[in-house]
Amino acid sequence: MRTIELGVTITDAAVDDETTTIFCAPVARDPRCPDCGGDGRYCDTVTRALTDLPVAGYPLVLRVAVPRYRCLTAECGRAVFCQGLGKLAAPRAATTRRCARYVLRRLMIDRTTISAIAAELGVSWHTVSAIAMRAVACRRRRTGSPRGGAGDRRR
């Protein structure tokens, strides 16, 4: 699995009967505050679990060690923030971006059920459904269509 283009490096791995777990950390630290853009001071590290694409038929979980920082700008309303994961995952997402694309492909092209995809990924039905619903809402915002752009043909 290539992770360098996603901005993380693998630090360890573990396999059990049901799941493959890969431990990783960001390649570079970015202490800039997402609100004010000012510098932050390192506080600690939190572990964020992200579901990724299945490997050899088994669910894959990335456990990313994400640095937390304290904003040094007095006027900023944000006291503590986590480093963004950029290409790897959206803020507060439970899956990687490529896993979300995989879910949409399985739903729209392969016509797989939400339950089957959830079983493949080792996540709940609600997690897969939420990914699909966010995609529909995003498409509606982009196209301005209440049907999510169905039938729209841009030339």
Strand partners, 44: 68
pLDDT digits (tens, 9 = 90+) for 20-40: 999 999 988 889 998 898 999
pTM of the model: 0.79
Q: Is residue 108 helix, strand or coil?
A: helix
Angle at alpha carbon of residue 28, lines to 40 and 98, rounded to 5°: 110
pLDDT digits (tens, 9 = 90+) for 122-136: 999 999 999 889 888
Task: Say if residues 141 and 130 touch (Cβ distance below 8 Å).
Answer: no
pLDDT digits (tens, 9 = 90+) for 77-117: 888 999 988 889 888 888 998 899 899 999 989 999 999 99
Residue 147 has pLDDT above 70, yes or no: no
Across all residues in the chain, what is the average pLDDT? 86
Beta-carbon contacts of 149 under 8 Å, excluding residues fewer than 6 positions away, are 139, 140, 142, 143
